[in-house]
Amino acid sequence: MIIVGAGPAGITAGVYAARKKLDSMVVSLDVGGQAAWSGDVENYTGYQFISGPELAQKFQEHILKYGNLLKENEDVVEVGKQGKLFRVSTDKAVYQARSVIVASGKKSRQLGVPGEKEFKNRGLTYCATCDGPLFSGKAVAVVGGGNSALDAAMQMTRIAKRVYMLNINNSLSGDEVMRQKVEGSGNVEIFNNAEVLSVSGGKFVSGIRIKQPAGERDLAVEGVFVEIGLVPNSSFVREVKKNGYGEIIVNARNETSVPGLFAAGDVTDVPEKQIIIAAGEGAKAALSAFRYLSVNRFSGNG
Amino acid sequence: MKNVKVYSTPTCPWCIRLKQFLLENNVAFENIDVSSDQAAGEEMMRKSGQMGVPVLDIDGQIIVGFDRGRIKDILGV
């Protein structure tokens, strides 16, 4: 069995699969998924407080206890079924499995405007927590209006000279407490109904163009933090039913529309994207896959 | 012995993984925290031409991000 993704769902599925003595492997670009990018985690039972990177480290230690089951730094590009076997192709190799669990999570949504690709890591970033400190004393823009955007804005008010929040809706949508904190800090300016048109600069970002009902406007910024939500990493599985957001549709047993293909965590249509929910879903998917493999009693070459 | 510098911030997951990887392979390195040292941040930007962490400097060879394959090649581990 192959598990795609090593976030909370994938790692937990891997642990359960190992304990059921399934011949399994977790293939992933990184370990920890979005959990590794979270700041503080205070709602994962058993840990009153743990940082995202630390929790990711614990996940990794847990699965490695069962052997070298982790293939890191491999990007899965396609999962397809041929007869009773699945083919999992990565940027480095091709694997075969009788069952696959997709636990590939979500990634940052992109703006899709000119300058975004060119200036990525040249002033434009999707991780305020990582790159924020490099913008000390500078003017920056945070794009978005939800909690992650507020969180980024809050971090940047302490570091940057000036923070522009560019929100496409007519009011911020994040939690009231966060909103008040951001609105109350002296160096933030909030632009509602603001659509980003382009990011510009020379070697590094020097400005961002926005459109508001009143017209277009250029802001001089050296940093652009994109915090406009997430999209599921599901494009590498083509022949599976997905909802309008691209999330893989699963039932209560984590079964997808393809027999033998299971999915778990944030990549699925399960409501509430939480570390602990993803972990639980991963466990459930592994147990379902175990049942599928026992019932189908694969023999010989499958 | 190669001179290895890691430009990082304490909060970036790839920085943590990179440092772990170096430790596991017994590679001695100097960690430069660009979140508390602005001049170091500028030095990193000048060397790498970009603003993302981590950046690894191995005897003047610059690697952006945790590129395990290239790091292994250069360090011979």
The whole domain housing A33 covers 2-108+230-296
pLDDT for A148: 86
Q: How far apart are CA A38 and CA A47, in angstroms?
A: 15
Do the Cβ atoms of B13 and A123 come within 8 Å? no
Of A125, A132, A136, the CB nearest to B38: A136
Structural domain includes residue A302: no
- Whole-number mean pLDDT of chain B? 91
Specify the pTM. 0.80
pLDDT (tens digit, 0 to 9) for every residue of chain A, 302 residues total? 999 999 999 999 999 999 999 999 999 998 898 888 776 788 999 999 888 878 988 999 999 999 999 998 899 999 999 999 999 999 999 999 999 999 999 999 999 999 999 999 999 999 888 888 889 899 999 999 998 899 899 999 999 999 999 999 999 988 898 899 999 988 999 999 999 999 999 999 999 999 999 999 999 999 999 999 999 999 999 999 999 999 999 999 999 999 999 999 999 999 988 999 999 999 999 999 999 999 987 654 44
Residue A284's nearest CA partner among A265, A259, A258, A260 is: A265
Residue reference for tokens 């795609």: A4
- Total domains present in chain A: 2
Q: Please indicate if any CB of chain B lies within 8 Å of the CB of A36.
A: yes
B71 and B21 Cβ atoms separated by less than 8 Å: yes
pLDDT for A301: 45
Would you state the structure tokens that stand for residue B25, as one six-digit string? Answer: 């392979």
Alpha-carbon radius of gyration of chain A: 21
| Three-class DSSP category at B46 | helix
pLDDT for A300: 45
pLDDT higher at B13 or A248: A248
Residue reference for tokens 């943590």: B16
Q: E strands within chain A?
A: 2-4, 25-27, 40-41, 50-51, 70-71, 76-82, 85-90, 94-97, 100-102, 106-108, 124-125, 139-143, 162-166, 188-191, 195-201, 205-212, 215-220, 223-226, 230-232, 261-263
Q: Which of A201, A226, A251 is the last residue of a domain?
A: A226
Q: How far apart are CA A294 and CA A116, in angstroms?
A: 48
Is B4-75 a CATH 3.40.30.10 domain?
yes
Alpha-carbon radius of gyration of chain B: 11
DSSP at A23: -
pLDDT digits (tens, 9 = 90+) for B23-33: 989 999 999 99
A237 lies in the same domain as A222: no
Q: Please indicate if any CB of chain B lies within 8 Å of the CB of A114.
A: no
- From chain A, the residues in CB contact with B41 under 8 A are 133-134, 136
pLDDT for A24: 97
- From chain A, the residues in CB contact with B64 under 8 A are 121
Do the Cβ atoms of A73 and B68 come within 8 Å? yes
Q: Which of A187, A208, A226 is the last residue of a domain?
A: A226
The ranges assigned to domains in chain B are 4-75
Which residues of A are marked as active site?
Answer: 127, 130-131
Question: CATH number of the domain that A171 lies in?
Answer: 3.50.50.60
Do the Cβ atoms of B51 and A122 come within 8 Å? yes
Structural domain includes residue A183: yes
Residue A135's nearest CA partner among A147, A127, A123 is: A123
For B4, phi then psi, to 5°, come to -115, 125
Do the Cβ atoms of B38 and A73 come within 8 Å? no
pLDDT for A298: 65
Q: How far apart are CA A189 and CA A212, in angstroms?
A: 14
